[in-house]
């Protein structure tokens, strides 16, 4: 099978937590963050981390609020790699293999897989905009040339719609 998600490219594009968070921010908000608590656009960015402060409701937040990536101690680039490996294996990824690939223990790998699989399955059921994950998989099968970042962006969008 031809690889459609290039893990090497993925690691180059998303070497750390910050690069992933910036990617999620862009998918969610574009250039202007929106407070997930009150909907205000009057926010300020913290100087040294990818967090924002809402000047309307006085709460701080990051782009992962209300997504499956919230409150996880696993760095986002490991989540991104897991998502890529899971899609590439067409959901036949074992916890043992994942643990070795992203350097976490087997129990953690198992939990990550369970969380992602549940969310992907939710996304498949609930997406109704015509361009759903099934279509996406078919396109991949037909070897439509998609770039790794495009694929991830598409899937992350779907995941974040349902989480
Ligand atoms: Zn707010």
Would you state the pLDDT for residue 161?
Answer: 65
Give per-10-residue mean pLDDT for the chain (163 aa).
Answer: 63 87 87 93 89 96 88 90 82 92 96 87 57 53 55 74 54
Separation CA 142–CA 147 (nearest Å): 14
Q: What counts of helices (H) and strands (E) characterise the chain? A: 7, 3
Q: Tell me the CA–centroid distance for residue 16 and ligand 1, in Å.
A: 28
Centroid of ligand 1 to alpha carbon of 128 (angstroms): 29
CA 46 / ligand 1 centre spacing (Å):
15
pLDDT of amino acid 143: 44
Tell me how far the alpha carbon of residue 61 lies from the centroid of ligand 1, in angstroms. Answer: 9
From ligand 1's centre to the CA of 34, what distance in Å? 8
Q: How far apart, in whole angstroms, are the C-alpha atoms of residue 133 and residue 156?
A: 11
Q: Are 57 and 39 in contact (CB under 8 A)?
A: no
Which three-class secondary structure state does DSSP give residue 13?
A: helix
Instruction: Please tell me whether the overall predicted TM-score, pTM, comes out greater than 0.75 for this model.
Output: yes
């Amino acid at each position: 099978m031809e690889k459609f998600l290039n893990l090497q490219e993925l690691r180059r594009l998303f070497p750390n937590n910050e690069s992933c968070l910036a990617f999620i921010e862009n998918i969610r908000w574009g250039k202007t963050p929106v407070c997930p608590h009150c909907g205000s656009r009057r926010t300020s960015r913290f100087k040294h981390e990818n967090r924002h402060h809402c000047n309307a409701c006085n709460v701080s937040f990051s782009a992962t609020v209300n997504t499956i990536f919230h409150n996880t101690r696993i760095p986002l680039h490991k989540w991104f790699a897991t998502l890529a490996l899971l899609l590439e294996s067409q959901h036949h990824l074992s916890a043992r293999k994942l643990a070795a690939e992203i350097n976490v223990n087997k129990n953690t790998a198992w939990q990550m897989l369970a969380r992602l699989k549940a969310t992907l399955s939710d996304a498949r059921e609930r997406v109704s905009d015509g361009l759903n994950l099934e279509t996406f998989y078919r396109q991949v099968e037909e070897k439509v040339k998609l770039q790794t970042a495009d694929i991830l962006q598409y899937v992350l969008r779907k995941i974040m719609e349902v989480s």
